[in-house]
Amino acid sequence: MTELKKLPVKTLAELGCPDAKRAEKLLQQSLQGFEKKIIVLDDDPTGVQTVHDISVYTDWEEESIRQGFLEKTTMFFILTNSRSFSEEETVRVHREIAQRICKVSKELGKEFFLISRGDSTLRGHYPLEMDVLREELEKEGNLCVDGEILCPFFPEGGRFTFGNVHYVKEKDKLVPAGMTEFAKDKTFGYQASDLREYVEEKTKGKSPAVSCITISLEELRAFDTDGILRKLLGATDMAKVIVNAVTYEDLKVFCSVLALAVKEGKHFLARTAAALPKVIGQISDKPLLSGEDLVKSEKNGGIVLVGSHVKKTTDQLNCLKKSHKNLEFMEFDVNTSFEEGGLITEVEKTVKKAEDCILTGRTAVIYTSRTLLAPEAMDKEALLKISVEISEAVTSIIGKLTIKPRFIIAKGGITSSDVGTKALRVQKATVMGQAKKGIPVWMTGAESKFPGMPYVIFPGNVGEVSTLREIVEELT
């Protein structure tokens, strides 16, 4: 495995940037005639981090998929929340989704381009989800998937790829992804930072590192569209295509060539972070949402639910505790999950405290205790099951509220998904935009528990130390 080291953030500036106007012009030209509906399967609700005025469906019923196809927009999202699934459930769900997409596509005579939006720090059911999608598309869609685009670049979250190595920005350093806390995830952990080696590791050698097609920064910066196109046209049998990018201009150059390859009849699936859907979906930039954009006068307090337990979230929570705003902090003890009926009792106690707090105009900050005292011998499937039970308990706090809060912020991917779909019962939401870079806001639909309320979806692995505090203070 390639030996790597942390780099200073200034390395990004030293790498430079392609000509922005030329990249944009190339993209616009290439996307002319690209008529496919772009469908993004999101493994947690944070994949809309870069878009606005786009629909998110929280189920994959045939009618929901049909509605998405019939919308005038270029793209729609389907929230699967599959990062919280077992492998067996992931297979079942992705099989269902692919079959229904193919069926609706044939009925409407509308082709599609499918993106699996995964974690920008490389966690999730990879390559399982991609393999299932390929199998069903080839069977139901009567096509051959030539290649799989792998592009975890996501600058809003500090994720950059160059030299085929994926880096995560941590303060003033660029850390190879395999050296971060995310790579130590007990369910989705990995070792490799070089994406070619990551592919080999995750596919257990079925796709060797040397078999990967790589699109380098040098090719993108030279606008070598002919050379890149030859590589894409040469892809066969689900070849893995590694995309390097450190700026949106890099991605625009790549997507312009990808569109040309697709128009020439090549079929690709994409496993990407949130940046690529924005570019290929031609979503414009939009200013960050202000407190005035999000909340109107409301006497009740808001509620913040912190489920993520990664270090970044803990640091953000500790910073929030220093706020001088009218907040009340409530710790939810996750270790009650090891007691008979413990989680139920903990939920009831927390709901009562939260409602009392909200009624007085204060904002309730509910956070899970930071350490789960799980037995060392517990396997990863059992650990995932416990995590899901805790998430369901924490989510049910919102579901049991009888008082409408001023706003809701949910911190963490699984937590925010469960709050949106289970507690708030959202079936279709509209993405308003972002509260901060990489932090999307839904406007809840009429069918939801609290219609017309801003719901801030705050990923566990995004933002600076002060970002959570800044958002809470803006909304209160």
Q: What percent of the chain has pLDDT over 90?
A: 79
Q: What average pLDDT score do residues 87-116 get?
A: 97
Q: What average pLDDT score do residues 245-274 get?
A: 97
Helices then strands (H, E): number in the chain? Answer: 16, 19
pLDDT at 312: 86
Q: What average pLDDT score do residues 208-228 get?
A: 97
Contact 248, 281 (CB under 8 A): no
- 130: tokens are 């991609």
Alpha-helical (H) ranges within 71-194 are: 87-108, 128-140
Q: What average pLDDT score do residues 403-420 get?
A: 89
- For the cut 90, the answer to whether the pLDDT of residue 445 exceeds it is no
pLDDT at 373: 66
pLDDT at 310: 78
pLDDT at 297: 66
- Residue 46 one-letter amino acid: T
109 Cβ neighbours under 8 A, 6+ residues apart: none
* Buried/exposed code over 416-443 (b: 16+ C-beta within 10 A; e: otherwise): bbbbbbbbbebbbbebbbbbbbbbbbbb
Whether the ω angle into residue 127 lies within 30 degrees of 0, i.e. cis, is yes
- For the cut 90, the answer to whether the pLDDT of residue 246 exceeds it is yes
- For the cut 80, the answer to whether the pLDDT of residue 30 exceeds it is yes
More confident residue, 26 or 334: 26
- For the cut 80, the answer to whether the pLDDT of residue 419 exceeds it is yes
Quote the CA–CA distance of 250 and 215 in Å, as a whole number: 10
In tens, the pLDDT along 47-84 reads: 899 999 999 999 999 999 999 999 999 999 999 989 98
The candidate with the shortest Cα–Cα distance to 164, out of 209, 196, 201, 116, is 196
* Buried/exposed code over 446-464 (b: 16+ C-beta within 10 A; e: otherwise): eebebeebbbbbbbbbbbb
- For the cut 80, the answer to whether the pLDDT of residue 371 exceeds it is no
55 Cβ neighbours under 8 A, 6+ residues apart: 67, 68, 71, 73, 76, 77, 428, 429, 430, 431
Strand partners, 304: 365, 409
Going by pLDDT thresholds of 50, 70 and 90, the confidence category of residue 416 is confident
Q: What average pLDDT score do residues 108-122 get?
A: 96
Lookup result for tokens 């290929």: 280
In tens, the pLDDT along 318-356 reads: 999 999 999 999 999 888 877 888 889 999 999 999 999
- For the cut 90, the answer to whether the pLDDT of residue 403 exceeds it is yes
Q: What average pLDDT score do residues 262-289 get?
A: 96
In DSSP notation, 121-147 reads: TS-SSTTHHHHHHHHHHHHHS-----E
Residues across the chain: 476
Going by pLDDT thresholds of 50, 70 and 90, the confidence category of residue 376 is low
The candidate with the shortest Cα–Cα distance to 274, out of 72, 97, 120, 91, is 120
pLDDT at 63: 96
Contact 142, 263 (CB under 8 A): no
- For the cut 90, the answer to whether the pLDDT of residue 188 exceeds it is yes
Going by pLDDT thresholds of 50, 70 and 90, the confidence category of residue 433 is very high
Q: DSSP state, 419?
A: I
70 Cβ neighbours under 8 A, 6+ residues apart: 108
pLDDT at 370: 72
pTM over 0.75: yes
Q: What percent of the chain has pLDDT over 70?
A: 98
- For the cut 80, the answer to whether the pLDDT of residue 209 exceeds it is yes
Look at the alpha carbons of 20, 21, 25, 31 in this order and tell me if their dihedral is positive or negative: positive
Rounded to a whole number, what is the largest CA-CA distance in the chain?
64
- For the cut 70, the answer to whether the pLDDT of residue 427 exceeds it is yes
pLDDT at 374: 64
Highest mean pLDDT among 145-154, 418-427, 437-446: 145-154
Across 12-26, 119-133, 182-196, 330-344, least confident range = 330-344
pLDDT at 384: 73
pLDDT at 375: 61
Going by pLDDT thresholds of 50, 70 and 90, the confidence category of residue 130 is very high
pLDDT at 379: 73
- For the cut 90, the answer to whether the pLDDT of residue 307 exceeds it is no
DSSP helix/strand/coil, 246:
coil
